[in-house]
């Protein structure tokens, strides 16, 4: 039976919602995923849970083994992946503490491996049109759930992907804005690309934790300030993920 994979970002966990949970220590042709995966049920849904940044959230985004993570969910027969992330705002209207449901991305990463073709044959991989990099089914469920629950959500957004860990220079940040990007982050594009190649539907909900460096009227956010936003909004994010999962 097909299952729903959930990739959780920093500070978020749904393990308390699991029933009949069983942990799996997986290996893949591309190494081990960030953490053991937890299989179980949430409601009547068969769910596979994976923490992107490791069990203790100590793996930085630029060191995450994205190929192993996505392939591990593929090994567990996941047909859909629902992911949470954080992002930095490139637009006035996307404020700190609000949610964004992505519909497009621009990939500027340089040091990520973005294909399984190094070990799998090209004929076994999906390289069809990628004009819609995010699942309409998952996006619709995220948006409907956010509206019903009264969360402020931006129903469209182009995320610009960078390697990190450094933030943008002000010149870069302004260039991204001119390109039409709405937010910037480090995790979404690699996951979406790899999931598409393995024929899995992928969707993401992202919490805005700071304004990127294009703004001159405020000081750039510190690491501590970003963590405070995550802490203050994690219960809302977990609530949104759970409700969306049950709707899929």
Residue-level pLDDT at 230: 96
Q: Which of these, 215, 201, 209, lies nearest to 233 by C-alpha position?
A: 209
Residue-level pLDDT at 19: 87
Residue-level pLDDT at 21: 84
Residue-level pLDDT at 231: 96
Residue 41 neighbours by CB under 8 Å, 6+ apart: 18, 19, 20, 47
The secondary structure of the chain in percent helix, strand, coil, rounded to multiples of 5, reads 30, 25, 40
206 bridge partner residues: 85, 100
Q: Please state, in angstroms and rounded to a whole number, the distance separating the CA atoms of residues 241 and 86.
A: 14
Residue-level pLDDT at 180: 96
Residues composing the chain: 248
How many Cα atoms are found within 13 Å in the side-chain-facing hemisphere of 227? Answer: 4
Q: Please state, in angstroms and rounded to a whole number, the distance separating the CA atoms of residues 154 and 17.
A: 27
Print pLDDT tens along the chain (248 aa).
579 999 999 989 888 888 888 999 999 999 999 999 999 999 889 999 999 999 999 999 999 999 999 999 999 999 999 999 999 999 999 999 999 999 999 999 998 889 999 999 999 999 999 999 999 999 999 999 999 999 999 999 999 999 989 999 999 999 999 999 999 999 999 999 999 999 999 999 999 999 999 999 999 999 999 999 999 999 999 999 999 999 99
Residue-level pLDDT at 1: 56
The CATH architecture annotation of domain 3-247 reads 3-Layer(aba) Sandwich (3.40)
């Amino acid at each position: 039976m097909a299952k729903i994979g959930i990739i959780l970002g920093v500070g978020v966990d749904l393990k308390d919602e699991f029933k009949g949970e069983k942990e799996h220590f997986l290996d893949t042709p591309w190494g081990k995923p960030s953490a053991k995966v937890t299989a179980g049920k949430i409601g009547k849904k068969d769910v596979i849970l994976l923490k992107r940044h490791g069990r203790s959230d100590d793996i930085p985004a630029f060191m995450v083994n994205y190929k192993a993570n996505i392939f591990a969910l593929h090994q567990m027969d996941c047909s859909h992946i629902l992911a949470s992330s954080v992002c930095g705002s490139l637009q006035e209207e996307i404020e700190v503490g609000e949610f964004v449901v992505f519909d497009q991305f621009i990939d500027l990463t340089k040091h990520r491996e973005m294909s399984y073709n190094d070990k799998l044959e090209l004929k076994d991989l999906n390289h069809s049109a990628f004009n819609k990099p995010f699942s309409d089914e998952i996006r619709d469920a995220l948006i409907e759930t956010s509206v019903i629950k009264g969360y402020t959500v931006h129903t469209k957004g182009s995320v610009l992907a960078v390697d990190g860990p450094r933030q943008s220079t002000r010149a870069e940040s302004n260039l991204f804005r001119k390109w039409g990007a709405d937010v910037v982050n480090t995790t979404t594009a690699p996951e979406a690309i790899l999931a598409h190649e393995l024929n899995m539907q992928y969707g993401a909900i992202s919490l805005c934790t700071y304004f990127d460096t294009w703004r001159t009227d405020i000081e750039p956010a510190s690491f501590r300030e970003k963590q405070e936003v995550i802490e203050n909004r994690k219960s809302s994010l977990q609530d949104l993920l759970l409700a969306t999962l049950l709707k899929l």
